[in-house]
Amino acid sequence: MTVKNYIALFLLVLISIKTLLVPVVYLDFELRRDFIIQNLCENRFKPQLKCNGQCYLAKKLHKIAEDNATKQTEKQGQSIKKILEEVFETTTFSAYHLDVKQIFPKSNFTYQLSIYTVFTTSFFHPPCLA
């Protein structure tokens, strides 16, 4: 196999781990069901509830869901922060040099038109609370 194939296989494994996280938790629960019922179940001393380790499984799945939600929220917050930083930089200076001969090739104009525009964040600020 070539290096490209190894890289593709590695990336496929990384994506699969993220995608198959919940099924792996179910598989782990099924393989270790007896151990979980005897040692890790919260209701092991109350056999009349017939929990059979479902509380442990529910906790694990809830933890995975919370972790995913937290990561998604952080990722969205970072992307919004990045967008806002790009839009509202302290000073943005733009210069446009327009050559009239490029716009109107058949004209007799020989000068160059320059337009300079300055935008600052002083226009965009929260209201003063003083």
- The residue ranking higher by pLDDT, 20 or 127, is 20
pLDDT of residue 126: 67
The reported pTM is 0.51
Candidates 74, 98, 87; CA nearest to 121 is 87
Q: What is the pLDDT of residues 34-78, one digit of tens each?
A: 999 899 888 888 888 888 889 999 999 999 889 888 888 888 888
Q: What is the pLDDT of residues 69-117, one digit of tens each?
A: 888 888 888 888 888 777 776 544 444 555 555 555 555 544 444 333 3
Question: What is the torsion angle, in degrees rounded to the nearest 10, for the CA atoms of residue 92, residue 97, residue 103 and residue 105?
Answer: -170
30: pLDDT confidence band, cut at 50, 70 and 90?
A: very high
